[in-house]
Amino acid sequence: MHSFAITAPDRGMENSLKHKVDRKTKPPGSLGQLEALAVRIGLIQQTLTPSLDRPQMLVFAGDHGAAKAGVSAYPQDVTWQMVENFLAGGAAINVFARQNGLGLSVVDAGVAHDFGGPREGLIDLKVAPGTANYLESPAMTAAQCAQAIEQGAGVVFGLAAAGCKVVGFGEMGIGNTASASLITHCLTAVPLADCVGRGTGLDDAGLARKQALLELALTRYRNAGGADDAFAVLAEFGGFEIATMVGAMLAAAEAKMVLLIDGFIVGSAALVAARLAPALLDYCVFCHRSVEPGHRAQLQALRAEPLLDLGLRLGEGTGAALAFPLVQAAVAFLNEMASFESAGVAG
């Protein structure tokens, strides 16, 4: 598997960036989180004048063997039907990406459907038509997991070569909040019950059933000697969309891009990627706090302070697309706002 060369940004410019922020015509610190964000992006790009060229959303889609066992409120066919909706431009992520000037591609990492040859806006990286059922066996082999990571990395290295400096992450896969719950529990040690939520809208009985099924999967893994190694956990419980996203994130950090991290499922990929390469976190902008309970556990483990808290739980990368104007605002004020000196204002 590609060994990723991810290094923390050189902090030598940090004081210069902070000085530039502090000399703007405003009270020090008065733009709050936007100030820290401006400094972060300047450090990522190693410049006092960062830019957000060719911003791109990637929505990773895959199916889960465990979905047939009833861990979701929706049937598995919804995964491919929603991919068709993305390709037709009709989903929430399409609306917000258009509104905010983000390119959008859908990555078929392992959807249980044939999309019929090359399609505009669809990147075919199908590892297999869905994972195995982790209630009975590992979701994927180590080789499949490594293949997914490799393929995800390839897409992002291609974007970087084309001049893209910002990549937003989204996902689609019926059953993937269950995967994210298991990954989050294993990698944060937060009790599983605190990592399991209603996903696409389970009622109380459905939530209890999901919880019981995930406890079974975890017991099977532990009894087989399963460890909390990030790659092992990803292969055991992940989806191909999550594993492909991990590779894409690692490549984005190696290429020194800005990563827009969405909610709970994208967060589970970020958790894995950050365990594999801790310096990756310096390149991440955490866009929102999901209402999925496990997302709080992730954000605490990653010491992340998200930009938005809107009660979102849709996925698709919608939180990342909605937060992008704030990222643009941080760069814009750094580049365009007058300083006390230039404006002739007494500091």
Helix (H) or strand (E) holding 21: helix 14-22
Q: From the CB of residue 325, how many other CB atoms can be counted at a distance below 10 Å?
A: 14
The pair of three-digit structure tokens given for residue 42, joined into one six-digit string:
């300047």
Q: What distance lies between CA 112 and its chain's CA centroid? A: 22
Catalytic choice (171, 236, 254, 316): 316
Give the position of tokens 């199908």. 126
Give the largest Cα separation in the chain, rounded.
Answer: 70
In 3-state terms, what secondary structure has residue 240?
helix
**DSSP string of 58-120?**
EEEEE--GGGGGT-SSS-THHHHHHHHHHHHT-SHHHHHHHHTT-EEEEEEEE-SS---S--T
Does residue 125 contact residue 132 with C-beta atoms inside 8 Å?
no
Assess whether 84 carries a catalytic annotation: no
Does residue 309 contact residue 289 with C-beta atoms inside 8 Å?
yes
What gap in Å lies between CA 113 and CA 116, rounded to an integer?
9
Report the amino acid identity of residue 84.
E
List, in sequence order, every beta strand (DSSP E) within the chain.
56-62, 103-110, 122-124, 166-172, 258-261, 284-286
What gap in Å lies between CA 164 and CA 344, rounded to an integer?
37
Which residues have CB under 8 Å from 276's CB, separation 6+? 4, 230, 231, 246, 250
List, in sequence order, every beta strand (DSSP E) within 45-132.
56-62, 103-110, 122-124
What gap in Å lies between CA 127 and CA 152, rounded to an integer?
11
Q: How many CA atoms lie within 13 A of 196 on its CB side?
A: 22
Q: From the CB of residue 265, how many other CB atoms can be counted at a distance below 10 Å?
A: 34
Q: What is the set of active-site residues? A: 316
